[in-house]
């Protein structure tokens, strides 16, 4: 189980101060002024549930508000723990960062930084190639990225990120399209021998970022892709610090270093992304549309347990994980008044779908149980 949220809400759920505080990371204790430090030891400087619990206890034992404020700032925790601490959980491991918000924010800053270094001729050349680029047909039409970038959704930022290496390769073919101050900055920071190498450095930065975004939203991870992701994070982090150093001061820049731990804990970063949680929330809202000031625990328990029990009965009441000789007798169990009241007013109707395959592959069972007729369509395994 995990609680996913963007930076402000996620920190609140973990009991940590906002991300712009002196110690505002909910996974580690890095100082706000050191967010750019790629060598920070995340294990040695990490936040751990039992240590944070002791810090909240120490905060609760002080007598004056001045002492509370001092300890709160020193530890980077809020005055009171999160309401979620009433349940059994790890406030740090089970409150991962949202990769969608993080990478969308970084993509926005990367695009803004890139457009600010273009001359007027560079902007004109970029828009000309952008208008005639071969966009996928399923993409929605995008507005002018230079003048209307703030009107973009996160998905628009990420889509534009995927094609930026190609746009830069076609657009920026000479240094006259870039501002002189930026050229001199990159030559100095990257120790380049010639100014015409600046374009290749900028293009390579966007190639690294596009590959990084693609890997972060990958749905299957193994040890090889995991190591590849860590490698791209390191390469992009060091290069962007030289070309666009202002990006390294953002909390999102530091957050991507914690993605390694999130993948270890939750298999992928898509599993903990806010869009996934929004879909789960929609399912719950369809079950219980009005949940304000209401104890919904029994409602969820009734639906989960009921549907699992019905699935079990429709499969013949056999669980192949256990010995068949020890299976429960559902005929006797069905006579219980508690079971009958639990299933009262519940039914599963016939699924209205059009099957493209042979209809013989599907069975329609008419199951009579507890005085109710249940129609169920399911595919024969």
* Residue 5 pLDDT class (50, 70, 90 cuts): low
Alpha-carbon distance of 202 to 240, in angstroms, equals 9
* Residue 377 pLDDT class (50, 70, 90 cuts): very low
Alpha-carbon distance of 307 to 301, in angstroms, equals 10
Q: What is the pTM of this model?
A: 0.70
Question: What is the tens place of the pLDDT at every residue in 309-365?
Answer: 666 665 656 666 556 555 556 556 666 666 666 555 554 444 454 544 444 443 334
The DSSP code for 134 is: -
Q: Which two tokens stand for residue 334?
A: 């069905």
Classify each residue of 179-211 as buried b or exposed e, where b means 16 or more C-beta atoms within 10 Å of its C-beta.
Answer: eeebbebbbeeeeeeeeeebbebbbbbbbbbbb
The predicted model gives 305-309 an average pLDDT of: 63
What's the confidence (pLDDT) of residue 1? Answer: 45
* Residue 283 pLDDT class (50, 70, 90 cuts): low
Collapsed DSSP state (helix, strand, coil) of residue 233:
helix
Beta bridge partners of 372: 369
Secondary structure element (H or E) that encloses residue 160, with its range: helix 154-171
Alpha-carbon distance of 195 to 152, in angstroms, equals 33
For residue 103, CA distances in Å to 36, 65, 215 come to 16, 38, 11
pLDDT over 80 at 370, yes or no = no
What's the confidence (pLDDT) of residue 365? Answer: 42
> pLDDT over 90 for what percent of the chain?
35
Q: Which two tokens stand for residue 363?
A: 């069975």
Q: How many CB atoms lie within 10 A of CB 58?
A: 15
Average pLDDT, the chain: 79
Of the given ranges (60-69, 87-96, 154-163, 255-264), which has the lowest mean pLDDT?
87-96
∠ CA 238-274-153, nearest 5°, is: 75
pLDDT over 80 at 367, yes or no = no
What's the confidence (pLDDT) of residue 146? Answer: 93
What's the confidence (pLDDT) of residue 321? Answer: 59
The predicted model gives 234-252 an average pLDDT of: 94
Question: What is the tens place of the pLDDT at every residue in 111-130?
Answer: 999 999 999 999 999 999 99
More confident: 85 or 96: 96
Alpha-carbon distance of 206 to 288, in angstroms, equals 45
pLDDT over 80 at 34, yes or no = yes
Alpha-carbon distance of 110 to 209, in angstroms, equals 9
Q: Which of 81, 61, 60, 79 is nearest to 69 (CA)?
A: 79
Question: What is the tens place of the pLDDT at every residue in 194-240?
Answer: 998 999 999 999 999 999 999 999 988 889 999 999 999 999 999 99
What's the confidence (pLDDT) of residue 364? Answer: 39
What's the confidence (pLDDT) of residue 288? Answer: 57
Domain spans in the chain, listed from the N-terminal domain onward: 7-95, 99-274, 297-379
The predicted model gives 132-154 an average pLDDT of: 89
* Residue 275 pLDDT class (50, 70, 90 cuts): low
What's the confidence (pLDDT) of residue 96? Answer: 85
pLDDT over 70 at 28, yes or no = yes
Contact 59, 68 (CB under 8 A): yes
What's the confidence (pLDDT) of residue 267? Answer: 85
Question: What is the tens place of the pLDDT at every residue in 155-195?
Answer: 899 999 999 999 999 999 888 999 999 999 999 999 999 99
What's the confidence (pLDDT) of residue 20? Answer: 75
């Amino acid at each position: 189980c995990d609680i996913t949220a963007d930076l402000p809400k996620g920190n609140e759920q973990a009991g940590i101060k906002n991300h712009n505080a002196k110690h505002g990371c909910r996974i580690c204790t890095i100082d706000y002024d050191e967010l750019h430090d790629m060598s920070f030891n995340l294990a040695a400087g990490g936040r751990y549930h039992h240590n944070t619990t002791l810090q909240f206890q120490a905060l609760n034992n002080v007598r004056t508000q001045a002492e509370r404020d001092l300890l709160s700032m020193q530890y980077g925790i809020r005055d009171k723990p999160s309401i979620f601490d009433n349940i059994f959980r790890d406030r740090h491991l089970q409150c991962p960062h949202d990769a969608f918000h993080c990478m969308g924010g970084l993509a926005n800053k990367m695009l803004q930084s890139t457009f600010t270094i273009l001359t007027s001729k560079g902007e004109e050349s970029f828009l000309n190639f952008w208008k005639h680029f071969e966009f996928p047909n399923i993409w929605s039409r995008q507005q002018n990225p230079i003048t209307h970038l703030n009107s973009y959704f996160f998905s628009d930022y990420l889509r534009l990120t995927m094609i930026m290496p190609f746009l830069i390769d076609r657009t920026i073919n000479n240094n006259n399209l870039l501002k002189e101050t930026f050229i001199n900055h990159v030559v100095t920071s990257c120790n380049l021998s010639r100014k015409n190498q600046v374009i290749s450095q900028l293009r390579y930065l966007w190639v690294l970022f596009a590959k990084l975004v693609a890997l972060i939203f990958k749905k299957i991870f193994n040890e090889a892709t995991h190591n590849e992701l860590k490698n791209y994070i390191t390469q992009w982090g060091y290069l962007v610090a030289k070309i666009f150093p202002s990006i390294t001061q953002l909390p999102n820049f530091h957050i991507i270093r914690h993605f390694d731990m999130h993948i270890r804990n939750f298999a992928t970063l898509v599993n903990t992304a806010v869009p996934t949680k929004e879909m789960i929330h929609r399912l719950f809202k369809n079950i219980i549309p009005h949940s304000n000031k209401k104890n919904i625990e029994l409602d969820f328990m009734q639906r989960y347990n009921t549907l699992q029990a019905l699935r079990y009965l429709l499969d013949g009441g056999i669980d192949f994980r256990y010995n068949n000789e020890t299976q429960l007798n559902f005929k006797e169990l069905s006579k219980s008044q508690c079971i009958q009241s639990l299933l009262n007013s519940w039914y599963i109707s016939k699924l209205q779908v059009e099957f493209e395959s042979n209809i013989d592959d599907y069975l329609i069972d008419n199951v009579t149980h507890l005085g109710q007729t249940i129609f169920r369509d399911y595919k024969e395994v």
